[in-house]
């Protein structure tokens, strides 16, 4: 647009001088300037086209660079996250590996301990097998032998049980029965070498039979029955004698006895204020409730002492306590009452009972029988008897 305006201006200025020349001049320049303008316009278009292409290329390159940067950043973040996850996985695997190694070490230690235990058990099993074989051989050697040793062992056991019955259970009768059974075991063997031991057993039987066979439990129960009757025994308390001068104050219904009735009324009025009586017999003090309780407790105490003495086989204390109980009953209780008389008879019968018991401190047959059993065992098992 600028080039055309300039050409028009030039044409309009030069026209008045010479119209022909101007026409020619106007035509001629116009014909010559058209290719220049066309060339300029073509160059400008190409320039604009190249500039537009460069701008598009720059935009495309910028967009591609931005896309590549975005993708690279995303890939880098993903790579970092994957690397972090891989690191954590590696740490977990390392920890798992360490735990597995510790477990393997513990299992190895346990396996070592089990191996040692198995070796020890195998050694013990071997020793037990050897001992079992030795026992089987000894049992085979005992086949066909008489049961003499077993009967001697039974007799020894019975004698030991008899001793326990005597000293622990205080059962003389059962101890005698056990000794008799032990003698029967030895007699069934028909072995003359056992006669000295049987003589000792007979001596023990005689010693136990000579011991007092009174049942102290029965005596203690009889005293318990007496203790339960203490509170029911009548005491010898003071009783008011009968007034021999006492007259009846009952009034007569006969009118003829008006003087006597008047005197009885006067006597009854006088007796309300004055008392005059004549008593016969010795005067004794009246027992108070406390004194009565004390007398009964004294009797109960003596009976309990007698019961304890009977259970302890203390004949002296037993007799003394019953004698004191008898004295208390005679002096303090009513001896005319049938219950008191029967009570005294029971105490006197108990006092005549011998509760003393002398038992041997040991059985003379126990030691010889034990020695005989040990000798028989050594003969059967030899030197290995001490290990049994």
246 in a structural domain = no
pLDDT in tens, 90-147: 888 888 888 888 888 988 888 888 989 899 999 988 888 888 887 777 666 555 455 6
Q: pTM for the full model?
A: 0.41
295 and 325 co-located in one domain: yes
Looking at the fold, whether 306 and 189 belong to one and the same domain comes out as no
Domain co-membership, 189 together with 153: yes
DSSP 139: H
Whether residue 195 is contained in a domain is answered as: yes
Angle at 227 between CA 221 and CA 229, to 5 degrees: 115
Q: How confident is the model at residue 344 (pLDDT cuts 50, 70, 90)?
A: very high
Same domain assignment for residues 169 and 219: no
Residue 5 in this model has a pLDDT that exceeds 50:
no
**What is the structure's pLDDT at 247?**
55
Res. 206 pLDDT band, cuts 50 70 90: confident
Structural domain of residue 205, as residue ranges? 148-211+361-387
Domain shared by 290 and 322, yes or no: yes
For residues 306 and 321, is the Cβ–Cβ distance under 8 A? Answer: yes
Q: How far apart are CA 174 and CA 141, in angstroms?
A: 38
In a domain, 183, yes or no: yes
Ordered alpha helix ranges (H), 272-313: 289-311
Same domain, 326 and 377: no
Number of domains in the chain: 2
Whether residue 316 sits in one domain with residue 290: yes
Asked if residue 351 is part of any domain, the answer here is yes
Asked if residue 266 is part of any domain, the answer here is no
User: Would 315 be classed as within a structural domain?
Assistant: yes
Q: Is the pLDDT of residue 74 over 60?
A: yes
CA 297 – CA 330 distance, rounded (Å): 15
């Amino acid at each position: 647009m600028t080039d055309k305006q300039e050409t028009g201006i030039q044409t309009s200025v030069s026209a008045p001088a010479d119209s022909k020349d101007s026409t020619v001049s106007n035509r001629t320049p116009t014909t010559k300037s058209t290719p220049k303008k066309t060339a300029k316009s073509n160059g400008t278009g190409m320039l604009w086209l190249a500039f537009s292409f460069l701008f598009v290329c720059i935009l495309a390159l910028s967009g591609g660079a931005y896309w590549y940067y975005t993708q690279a950043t995303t890939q880098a973040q993903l790579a970092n996250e994957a690397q972090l996850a891989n690191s954590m996985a590696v740490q977990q695997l390392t920890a798992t590996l360490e735990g597995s190694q510790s477990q393997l070490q513990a299992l190895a230690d346990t396996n070592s301990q089990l191996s040692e235990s198995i070796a020890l058990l195998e050694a013990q099993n071997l020793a037990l097998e050897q001992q079992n074989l030795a026992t089987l051989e000894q049992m085979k050697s005992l086949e066909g032998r008489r049961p003499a040793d077993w009967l001697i062992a039974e007799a020894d056991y019975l004698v030991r049980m008899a001793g326990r019955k005597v000293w622990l259970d205080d059962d003389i009768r059962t101890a005698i029965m056990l000794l008799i059974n032990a003698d029967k075991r030895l007699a069934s063997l028909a072995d003359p070498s056992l006669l000295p031991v049987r003589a000792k057993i007979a001596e023990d039987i005689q010693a136990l039979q000579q011991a007092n066979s009174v049942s102290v439990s029965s005596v203690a129960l009889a005293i318990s029955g007496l203790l339960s009757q203490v509170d029911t025994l009548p005491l010898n308390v003071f009783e008011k004698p009968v007034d021999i001068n006492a007259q009846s104050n009952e009034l007569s219904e006969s009118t003829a006895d008006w003087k006597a009735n008047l005197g009885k009324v006067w006597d009854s009025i006088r007796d309300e204020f004055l008392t005059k009586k004549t008593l016969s017999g010795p005067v004794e003090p009246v027992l108070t409730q406390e004194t009565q309780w004390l007398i009964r407790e004294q009797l109960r105490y003596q009976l309990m002492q007698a019961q304890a003495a009977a259970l302890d086989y203390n004949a002296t204390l037993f007799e003394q306590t019953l004698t004191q109980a008898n004295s208390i009953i005679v002096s303090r209780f009513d001896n005319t009452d049938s219950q008191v008389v029967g009570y005294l008879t029971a105490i006197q019968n108990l006092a005549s009972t011998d509760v003393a018991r002398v038992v041997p401190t040991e059985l003379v047959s126990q030691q010889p029988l034990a020695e005989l059993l040990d000798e028989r065992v050594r003969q059967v098992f030899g030197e290995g008897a001490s290990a049994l």
